[in-house]
Chains A and B, each alone.
Chain A
Amino acid sequence: MGNVAFAARALCQGLEIPYVMPEKNNKGTLVTGAYYSPEEICLPFKIMMGNFLECIERGADTILFVGSCGPCRFGEYSELMMKILRKMEHDIDFIVFDMSPEIGIGEIRRRLGKVLERSPVSLARKLSAVKKAMKIQYLCDRLDRAAYLKAGYEARKGGCKRLLNEYKARLYECQSPEEALNILKLYVKKLASIEIDKSKKPIKIAIIGEIYTVIEPFSNLNIEEKLMDYGVSSERMLTPSWWVKDTALKPLKLNSLRVSRAAAKYLPYPVGGHCKECVGEAYLAGKKAMDGAIQILPMGCMPEIIAKSILPTIQKDTNLPVLTLIVDEVTGEAGFITRVEAFLDMLSSRRKKPDMAS
């Protein structure tokens, strides 16, 4: 899932737990995953299933997975994955962390213990490993964010994109959390030194939608990179480090207050998934007078379908054009690009004639 793999690997390295690093998501992953998954399940399930099968092939014997307790489908992933893997006769230890009130704190501790008992290092080093992993995640997200935003302003086109790809390739090869941190720090500096042209007024787009498909570039056909190529600045609130913060603050109900407040008018009750975030971000993007928003969702995602129904109202209220892109395993790249290009054309001509209706 996007850059989470780097942080997760750093955690395993720090805890000295043997791990299998999945390959970067590719067509093969999806084909394998989709073949063994139910037909109508959403895209993230299929990609994850592909990841698991690839890792099992390469010797993984334990899968760590997080769960939720609804009402979105994600909470039922673990159940279905376990059953499918068992049916395929893979003997896999499937450890699920979820926050269901039914399993109780004892069971969560037991499951956590099952993971930690494999780690030979001391408690202090365990904690430091967790800290480093979080730091890596945070830096990755910061780098990505800065690069996507800067791409519209850079004086010589392509610099941000090159740096992004470079740091990812180097992180993929790196062997220890310390090395990863050094690479990241270096690239934060490198990115800061990229020359920008302040006179440019690039189109600014908010990327909103379902969390997996916005974070994992493979699932959204690399939309952020494509936008960089067009010289468009993009912004996205949902990142893995946002998720960590959001989950930690949820019990206190202090999570993403700004977005919740913005969404309350359109969506007074929780519906699950990240529908509230999607609606709230769209509203805020409209208030900030961004040029447009692109909503990305996997085919059949229930919370995002609700969001999609509400977005036209927000478009009317804030004059923000929204393009909805639905992805699944048969999404063709050419048609996808055509739609994005048409949307961008529309946004730039809208700038020239602000009174033109969208």
Chain B
Amino acid sequence: MYHHTHSTVGPRELPMARSMCWHCQSEVAGEYFCERCVKVQPVSKDLDYFTCLGFPRRLTIDQHQLETKFYELSRAFHPDFYQNKSAAEQTISLGNSAMLNIAYRTLRDPIERAEYLLDLEAGSVKEIRNSPPADLFEEILELQDTLSEYRAAGHASETESTLRAKLQSERNTLEQRQREMEATLQQLFVQWDTLQDRGEATDQARTERDRILKQMRENLSNRTYVKNIVSDLASTIG
């Protein structure tokens, strides 16, 4: 879908992928519109979502600022405002809007934002966990047993209500667990941002960077696993 850039250079320093206006061939100084002929310029597909929305590659983002920027760019790119323009401009408007929408959707959600950043920094990560995290192994196995007992139990039977209560308490425990994981993730996000802000290029900084990325990856996949179990549970016991 997009190219993975492994550079740690701040997005502001990234050269724009295009250098010439598609329409008047002048060098484009403006960010989204040619300064000379005012035609909309295609947002490069190589641009990452952070750069697209004008944010540094950080995991803490001010939601309000992000929304303001999204609205501002929507007003610049949306096809509604290109109805009377040339076919070429309409195509660019459509492509830019679609890119902007996916960028905003990804960055708006802290978890998706982190997954996306991991993807950018360390290559594809969305490994899908099939077995429970080690520290939850026993608990999950027991839960699976209770779940199948519950499904087999007769409607409105006594066994059913006992099992339901048990499952409900399991659900509370797991939800608590999910919140803890999210809190840990939040700490990792802050660590990441701090490290980036320092901008050091030492070996120590590199080791630190790899450690944070690794922990984030583990936490993210554990959280997804637990979250899926919780929503399964929720839909079973209603």
A, B bound? no
Residues of B within 8 A of A (CB): none
A residues contacting B by CB (< 8 A) are none
